[in-house]
């Protein structure tokens, strides 16, 4: 199966979920046009409180739709945009990509994967117990984060549901994704 964009979402206001759109425009170095998290410096409230001058490595949030299938099997119904992501994909192992991977979304837009989303307690406010489903530990006791990846916009452009996703891996040695 080819990797594709399933849905695109944005929200001009701080809210846990983001409404789906017919398209979103990515702006180089900023993020999703009209989204509250767009900007050169951090926009997530907790990060702004810690240091508002930090670079925004969380301009565009991507989640794989396969996560929704996994959550459904555990009794949680989640739809695109409901976990706050901007782009929902299908057919690509986002969590298995190395840091620095470039994703071409549609004809023009390119984002660079910066790391894993570190979900917060707001997820349990959306659906009780959901945080435990998207953050856990493996047999070795290492933290596993499943709530998607974060990225920055390298090349702007319009992204729509149905667009293809093309992966360009960075030069080796690859660095595994860490929380950002």
Half-sphere exposure of 89 (CA within 13 A, CB side): 25
Q: Does residue 146 fall inside a structural domain?
A: yes
Q: Is residue 100 part of a domain?
A: yes
The predicted pLDDT at position 43 comes to 87
| Residue 128 is assigned to a structural domain of this protein | yes
Beta pairing, strands 102-105 & 20-21: unpaired
Count: domains in the chain: 1
Token pair, residue 29, equals 């170095």
Q: Is residue 39 part of a domain?
A: yes
| Inside any domain, residue 175 | no
**Cβ atoms 29, 152 nearer than 8 A:** yes
Residue 159 lies in a domain: yes
Report the pLDDT value the prediction gives residue 50, as an integer from 0 to 100.
85
Q: Is residue 52 part of a domain?
A: yes
Q: Is residue 33 part of a domain?
A: yes
Say if residues 75 and 8 touch (Cβ distance below 8 Å): no
Which CATH number fits the domain that encloses residue 74?
2.40.33.20
pLDDT value at position 1? 66
What pTM does this model have? 0.95
Other beta carbons within 10 Å of 148:
24
> Which residue range forms the structural domain that includes residue 104?
4-168
Return the pLDDT at 105.
98
Per-residue pLDDT reduced to its tens digit, 97-109: 999 999 999 999 9
pLDDT < 50: residue spans in the chain: none
């Amino acid at each position: 199966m080819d990797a594709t964009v399933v849905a695109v979402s944005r929200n001009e206001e701080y809210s846990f979920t983001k409404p789906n759109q017919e398209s979103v425009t990515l702006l180089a170095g900023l993020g999703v046009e009209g989204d509250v998290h767009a900007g050169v410096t951090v926009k997530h409230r907790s990060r702004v409180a810690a240091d508002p001058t930090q670079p925004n490595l969380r301009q565009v949030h991507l989640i794989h739709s396969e996560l929704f299938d996994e959550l459904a099997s555990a009794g949680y119904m989640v739809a695109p945009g409901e976990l706050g992501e901007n782009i929902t994909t299908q057919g690509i192992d986002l969590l298995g990509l190395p840091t620095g991977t470039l994703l071409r979304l549609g004809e023009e837009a390119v984002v660079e994967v910066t790391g894993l989303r570190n979900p917060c307690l707001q997820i349990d406010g959306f659906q009780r117990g959901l945080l435990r489903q998207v953050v856990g530990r493996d047999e070795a006791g290492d933290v596993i984060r499943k709530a998607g990846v974060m990225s920055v916009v390298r090349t702007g452009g319009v992204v729509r549901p149905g667009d293809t996703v093309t992966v360009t891996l960075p030069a080796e040695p690859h660095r595994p994704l860490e929380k950002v």
